[in-house]
Amino acid sequence: MVEHRWGQRINTAIDVLLFRGHRYAAQGKIFNVGFYGVFVATDNIFPINTYLEVRFTLAGDSYSRDYRIPGIVVHTANNGIGLLVDTTEPAARHGLKAILDKATAKEGGSLINESQIFSNVGARI
């Protein structure tokens, strides 16, 4: 099988809600994240090319912050969906960076800076 992703995938476990348009569609858990996309483990499988918004909250030291990441389903599996994230959206960039920071925090802090994530905007996952 040929690998079409750009960059490393980092495992994580963040609870999310999936929205289709402005309507709740499913719940899931971000299983892994890369520079341009996420894999969401979910029981609800959506067709390829479905636009979804991934919503989640991350707790900081003194506050919690809500994130919304727009994406399009680019692959499906029996246990979830792969989403290509629209990294031209500033909110999506900040959301991806927050996920990557959380996923890498156990290794001593952020291993990813924003320029690494978005140096190839428009590249394939």
pLDDT given at position 49: 97
The answer to whether residue 97 is domain-embedded is: no
Per-block average pLDDT, block size 10, for the chain (125 residues)?
A: 58 94 95 88 95 90 85 94 87 85 63 43 39
Amino acid at 116: Q
The answer to whether residue 59 is domain-embedded is: yes
Tokens 């989640």 map to which residue?
56
The answer to whether residue 1 is domain-embedded is: no
The answer to whether residue 23 is domain-embedded is: yes
pLDDT given at position 76: 95
The answer to whether residue 102 is domain-embedded is: no
pLDDT given at position 29: 95
Q: Range of 15's domain?
A: 6-87
Tokens 């001593």 map to which residue?
108
Domain holding 77: CATH number?
Answer: 2.40.10.220
pLDDT given at position 112: 44
**Rounded to 10 degrees, what is the CA torsion of 92, 110, 120, 18?**
-30
The answer to whether residue 122 is domain-embedded is: no
The answer to whether residue 46 is domain-embedded is: yes
| Beta-carbon count within 10 A of 118 CB | 19
The answer to whether residue 103 is domain-embedded is: no
User: Domain total for the chain?
Assistant: 1
Q: Let me know: does 93 contact 37? Beta carbons within 8 Å.
A: no
pLDDT given at position 62: 75
